[in-house]
Chains A and B, each alone.
Chain A
Amino acid sequence: MVIERRWKKWVYFYIPLTVFVVGTLFPFYWMFITAIRPDAELYRSWRAVNNAPFWTLSPTLDHVRDLLAKTNFPSWIWNTFFIAMVSTLISLFCGLLGGYALARLKFPMAGMLGTSIFVTYLVPPTLLFIPLADIIRSFRLGDTPWALILTYPTFLIPFCTWLLMGYFKTIPKELEECARIDGATRFGAMIRIIFPIAVPGILSAGIFAFTLSWNEFIYALVFLSSPEKKTVPVGVVSELIRGDIYFWGQLMAGALLGSIPVALVYSFFVEYYVTGLTGSVKG
């Protein structure tokens, strides 16, 4: 019986888990190995005698050095960070107020408003960038960070609002009723009681919004054109592929460096993030 159980554990647990882990992590490994592989190894034939696609014996930091020194990568990182940060803050602020209102206040059409906010999130950016481009041009914001800072909230605010609304609904409303009896206004109760309790939800909304704007591609591609004003995802792809030549080493070094901040943010807040998504306050 024990043997049968062990057999089952392998088939239903370890083997699928291994497949999943390898499938998830392999692209990162490939990115890493390509970033430290010398050019001579990168561009030799697959049929070469000494070809070893999965490892390298002469790792090098040349690509990283070139990326930082010879391209606009440092300013792309800064641009991406600045844009992601400001648009996340704007979206969080609006999402907090909107989410609270939808979760707690009674007003006509509240339900419909909530649904329609969600629907706007479902409209794909590939459709929206055409009218948005027109607006950006009319306001003469093209090729400035503000083009993105003001367009990212179009999908971040609905997202934050919905996530936070869900979180606020898990907080017992007696808490703020009690605060209001204790002497707080509704706004005071929101600031002093509800927001501190909602920190996990706010953090996960923030992390999500930050990641979404960090990785955003289409709007950044359309609204920014000067090489030094681009964000990492667009800069890496448009400046490191010249004509039909792919600078694989630098491309992957850029991708690697570009994903480090996001990975850091996630690993720091992972616990909050999980409670944020699963919700609920106890006691």
Chain B
Amino acid sequence: MAQVLMKDLNKKYDEVHAVKDVNLHIRDKEFIVLVGPSGCGKTTTLRMLAGLEEITAGEIHIGERLVNDLPPKDRDIAMVFQNYALYPHMTVYDNMAFGLKMRKFPKAEIEKRVRDAAQLLGILELLKRKPRQLSGGQRQRVAVGRAIVRHPQVFLFDEPLSNLDAKLRVQMRVELKKLHDRLETTAVYVTHDQVEAMTLGDRVVVMKDGWIQQVGEPLELYAHPANKFVAGFIGSPSMNFADVTINDVGGTVTAETQGLRLQVSPAKAAALRPYKGQTVSFGVRPEDVHIATGADPAHYTFDATVEVVEPLGSEILLDVKAGAVTIVARVDPTVRVKVHEPVRLAVNGDRLHFFDIKTEHTV
């Protein structure tokens, strides 16, 4: 159990600057998730932490130790790989015992730890098998088991669920979360799947092009994204964006574009006033758009035409067109609308997001 500290971490390959000035303090026992599109530097960051990639510049501390120059075996970490990386010529037992054998643990202790871990993961009856005789989910468990028998200071997960089918992935996700609650070991988890990131992480680190975009608790990222990228990346279906012009008529700030005219809530109005006459990027999440009722104030409603209806059972996704803007709305499953029908929608006025068009930072 230990905290992890990354200070001005950089990684440069010959021509690619893969990781740029990453500063991150991972607290003891925290489950932290690095998420981002492919090529954003999340895996490289994890591999530097593991000692598999050399650090171009910056420092990594695990616990109190500076580990920059320590080989992977001396960092007291365990890693679960995307392809599981089980040793094909060893039995499940030997796979799990390998790390302990390398560290010269007494035989009885190895036996006990492997059995305990196997019991915890429900793979006791598989111990004598070879990896090729296991299903994907079982291999995944063995890989996790091999990591936990070592009782390392930090667990590293490199997209461990992406080779599983959708159903198993959800199940393993829950199990990993339970496991972490039980073992209380610091964990760093890399994924490109924002759902995994949101559900597993105590805190989530969103990365893009080697930069950290935002670090925060899942719901904080969701409600208060720092920039347009985070806003669009977190959440499914993703946030609706449109370019709007800011107007200030007699103290009332509005955002307008062809077919859409919304008032800005007083809380945001002050920040947006300097943008008067300029274009900003406007964003609203699908669940913050609903069918207008009489209770909705007129300045938060707009008219649109339904283009696609996607009934999902628990909800309906409506793709609507308002002027030149396409918006996805997540509405009640009881709503009955047809394609090409006009519909009047309302937005949740407190939950509108505005981003600077150039810097893409939240206004």
Q: Which of B78, B87, B88 contacts A181 (CB 8 A)?
A: B78
B77 engages A188 (CB within 8 Å): no
A180 engages B98 (CB within 8 Å): no
B98 engages A182 (CB within 8 Å): yes
| Shortest distance between the CB of A198 and any CB in chain B (Å) | 10
B58 within 8 A of A: no
Q: Which of A172, A175, A181, A283 contacts B73 (CB 8 A)?
A: A181
Neighbouring B residues of A172 by C-beta, 8 Å: 83, 85
Neighbouring B residues of A281 by C-beta, 8 Å: 88
B81 engages A174 (CB within 8 Å): yes
Most buried by A among B79, B86, B88: B88
Q: Which of A174, A182, A196, A282 contacts B99 (CB 8 A)?
A: A182
Neighbouring A residues of B131 by C-beta, 8 Å: 283
Q: Which of A181, A184, A188, A283 contacts B86 (CB 8 A)?
A: A283
B107 within 8 A of A: no
B52 within 8 A of A: yes
B102 engages A283 (CB within 8 Å): no
A281 CA / B131 CA spacing, docked (Å) = 11
Contact with B along A164-180 (1 / 0, CB 8 A): 00000000101101111
A197 engages B89 (CB within 8 Å): yes
What DSSP secondary structure best describes chain B's contact surface? loop
A115 within 8 A of B: no
Q: Which of B92-116 contact A (CB under 8 A)?
A: 98-99, 102-103
| Shortest distance between the CB of B307 and any CB in chain A (Å) | 45
Contact with B along A143-173 (1 / 0, CB 8 A): 0000000000000000000000000000010
B77 engages A181 (CB within 8 Å): yes
A283 CA / B75 CA spacing, docked (Å) = 27
A178 CA / B71 CA spacing, docked (Å) = 12
Contact with B along A216-240 (1 / 0, CB 8 A): 0000000000000000000000000
B208 within 8 A of A: no
A218 CA / B50 CA spacing, docked (Å) = 53
What DSSP secondary structure best describes chain A's contact surface? helix
B321 within 8 A of A: no
A93 CA / B89 CA spacing, docked (Å) = 22
| Shortest distance between the CB of A220 and any CB in chain B (Å) | 38
A182 engages B132 (CB within 8 Å): no
Neighbouring B residues of A188 by C-beta, 8 Å: 102
B77 engages A183 (CB within 8 Å): no
B146 within 8 A of A: yes
A212 within 8 A of B: no
> Looking across the interface, which residue of chain A has its beta carbon closest to that of B150?
A182
A185 within 8 A of B: yes
A182 engages B81 (CB within 8 Å): no
Task: Knowing A282-B132, A283-B131, say if A180 contacts B72 (CB, 8 Å).
Answer: yes
Most buried by B among A175, A178, A196: A178
A94 within 8 A of B: no
Neighbouring A residues of B20 by C-beta, 8 Å: none
A174 CA / B82 CA spacing, docked (Å) = 9
> Looking across the interface, which residue of chain A has its beta carbon closest to that of B50?
A181
A255 within 8 A of B: no
Contact with A along B31-52 (1 / 0, CB 8 A): 0000000000000000000111
> Looking across the interface, which residue of chain B has its beta carbon closest to that of A196?
B89
A283 CA / B71 CA spacing, docked (Å) = 27
B353 within 8 A of A: no
Most buried by A among B51, B71, B82: B71
A179 engages B83 (CB within 8 Å): no
A35 CA / B136 CA spacing, docked (Å) = 58
A93 CA / B99 CA spacing, docked (Å) = 27
> Looking across the interface, which residue of chain B has its beta carbon closest to that of A183?
B102
A174 engages B85 (CB within 8 Å): yes
Neighbouring B residues of A183 by C-beta, 8 Å: 73, 98-99, 102-103
List residues of chain B with CB under 8 Å of any chain A CB. 50-52, 71-73, 75, 77-79, 81-83, 85-89, 98-99, 102-103, 130-132, 134, 139, 146, 150
20 contacts between A and B (CB under 8 A): A172-B83, A172-B85, A174-B85, A175-B85, A177-B50, A177-B72, A178-B85, A180-B72, A181-B75, A181-B79, A182-B78, A182-B102, A185-B71, A193-B87, A196-B89, A281-B88, A283-B86, A283-B131, A283-B134, A283-B139
List residues of chain A with CB under 8 Å of any chain B CB. 172, 174-175, 177-185, 188, 193, 196-197, 281-283
Extra 5 A-B pairs, beta carbons < 8 Å, given A180-B72, A283-B139 = A174-B82, A179-B87, A181-B79, A183-B99, A196-B89
Please give me the 4 A-B residue pairs with the lowest Cβ-Cβ distance, nearest first. Answer: A183-B102, A182-B99, A283-B132, A174-B85
